Amino acid sequence: MNDTQTVDVAPGLSRSLALIAAQAIVLFVLGVGLLGQLLLPNPGDPFAPSAGLAVLFAVIMPLTVAIVYFGSCRRPRRTLAEVGWVGTRMIQSILLGLLGAAACVVVLVALLAAMGDSLVAIGESLLAPSAARRVIFLIIGLHAAFTEETLFRGNLLGAFQARMGSVPAILVTSAVFAFYHLQFNPVPLLAKFVFGVVFAVLRRTSGSLVAPAIAHALFWTFAGSL
């Protein structure tokens, strides 16, 4: 990996981490934790199609997108292109995104198999969601593709890279990405870390956030909350 390749100018490390903390509080504490308990008919199955879920999406998604956009672009006076949303080499970005999504699926299957799940059971779980749930997963995936790629591979990766080489920056950013999801069991934590590495490598390889965003959205659509 060539350390001379640059990642677009990013806000400082403190600001990047503060934005991530704010996003986690709004999304997971206010959204999933508080509003989810109030609005969802079955909080134990948060992705079940319901009017409450639609209301939750309508409240939380615009708010979190606004936090990420204004915190990453307006106050630092950056454009989306400077964050990393560059539409050049789109064919390459699409192909890399497909490859990245496939890599994430392989990682997920390998981890579940290592925990004792059979490949048949894993395959059935991946194919089980209804069309309505797939739409929900797609919406979540598109939201995560913009917000999380901006926060982590657009802001934080550049902030860490200004202090260390590319490989350490990728590893540390991916660790923060894993803990951000507030899932501290070893398997989800390890999975999120590896996904973070995949997305960061796509960011570095393609020079934009488009490839990791495609991988992120496709993986969510296919694997959902598995």
Whether 152 is in a domain gets the answer yes
What are the pLDDT digits (tens) for 21-31? 999 999 999 99
pLDDT on residue 8:
45
Among 47, 69, 44, 67, residue whose Cα is nearest residue 56: 47
Place of tokens 């709004």: 26
Whether 210 is in a domain gets the answer yes
d(CA 192, CA 8): 24
Distance of CA 29 to the CA centre of its chain: 17
Whether 45 is in a domain gets the answer yes
Whether 4 is in a domain gets the answer no
pLDDT on residue 2:
43
Whether 51 is in a domain gets the answer yes
Place of tokens 């920056």: 169
Whether 3 is in a domain gets the answer no
> Considering the entire predicted model, what is its pTM?
0.91
- Count of C-beta atoms within a 10 Å radius of residue 222: 20
Whether 7 is in a domain gets the answer no
Whether 6 is in a domain gets the answer no
pLDDT on residue 10:
56
pLDDT on residue 12:
87
d(CA 16, CA 163): 14
Total number of domains constituting the chain = 1
What are the pLDDT digits (tens) for 70-108? 999 987 788 999 999 998 889 999 999 999 999 999 999
pLDDT on residue 88:
85
User: Which residues of the chain are under the pLDDT cut of 50?
Assistant: 1-8
d(CA 169, CA 157): 6
pLDDT on residue 77:
83
- The boundaries of the domain holding residue 94 are 13-223
pLDDT on residue 203:
97
